Structure 1
Amino acid sequence: MQALPRRIPPLLHPKHFNRINPALSAASVRPFHAGAQLRALDLAFDYHENGGKATGAPIVILHGLFGSKKNNRSMSKALARDLGRPVYAIDLRNHGDSPHDTTHNYIALAEDTENFLQQHNLKDPTLIGHSMGAKTAMTVALRNPESCASIIAVDNAPVDAALASDFPKFVMGMQKVEEAKVKTQKEADKILEAYAKDLPVRQYLLTNLIKSPESSANHLKFRIPVRILAHSLDDMADFPFSDPEKNRFEKPALFVRGTRSHYVSDETLPIIGRFFPRFELVDVEAGHWVISENPEEFRRAVVEFLQDKE
Structure 2
Amino acid sequence: MSALCRLIQRGMCRSLPGQQDACGMASMVRTASSSSPVNLTYDVFDGKGESTPLVFLHGLFGSKSNFHSIAKSLVQRTGRKVLTVDARNHGTSPHSPELSYEAMAEDLKHLLAQLHIEKCVLIGHSMGGKTAMTTALTQSGLVEKLVVVDISPAQTTTRTNFRSYIKAMQEVKISSDIPRSTARRMAEDQLRSLVKERSVRQFLLTNLVEQNGHYAWRVNLEAIAAHLDNIMSFPAVETVYEGPTLFLGGASSAYISSDDYPEIQRLFPCADIQYIPDASHWIHADKPLDFISSIIRFLQS
Give me the TM-score of the superposition, normalised by structure 2.
0.83
Q: Distance in 2 between matches of 1:163 and 1:100?
A: 27
- In 1, distance between residues paired with 2:35 and 2:106? 7
Is 1:47 the equivalent of 2:44? yes
1:289 counterpart (262, 278, 282): 282
Q: Distance in 1 between matches of 2:200 and 2:287?
A: 15
* One of 86, 89, 96 as aligned partner of 1:94: 89
Deviation at 1:39, TM superposition (A): 0.9
Partner residue of 1:58? Answer: 53
Selected match of 1:116 from 111, 117, 120: 111
SS at 2:43 equivalent: strand
Amino acid at match of 1:170: Y
Paired with 2:221 and 2:75, the residues of 1 have a C-alpha distance of 33
Structure 1: 4+ residue segments shifted above 3 A = 179-183
The answer for the alignment partner of 1:161 in structure 2 is: 156
Higher strand share: 2
1:300 to 265, 274, 293: 293
1:281 match: secondary structure = strand
Q: Classify the secondary structure of the residue corresponding to 1:292.
A: helix
Q: Specify the SS of the correspondent of 1:268.
A: helix
In the TM superposition, residue 220 of structure 1 has moved relative to its aligned partner by 1.4
1:263 aligned residue: 255
1:195 CA drift (Å): 2.0
Output one character per residue of 1:111-143: Cα deviation in whole Å (capped at 9) or x when no partner.
101111111111220000000000000000000
In 2, the alpha carbon distance for the partners of 1:136 and 1:257 equals 17
Partner of 2:146: 151
Q: Give 1:148 shift.
A: 1.1
How far apart are residue 54 of structure 1 and its match? 3.9
TM-score by length of 1: 0.81
Greater shift, 275-284 or 196-205, is seen at: 196-205
Residue in 2 aligned with 1:12? none
SS, match of residue 69 in structure 2: helix
Matches of 2:42 and 2:283, distance apart in 1: 21
Q: Which ranges of structure 1 fall in alignment gaps of 5 or more residues?
A: 1-36
Distance 1:135 1:280 in 2: 16
State whether structure 2 residue 196 is matched by structure 1 residue 197: yes
Number of aligned residue pairs: 262
| Deviation of 1:181 (Å) | 4.6
Q: CA RMSD in A?
A: 1.6
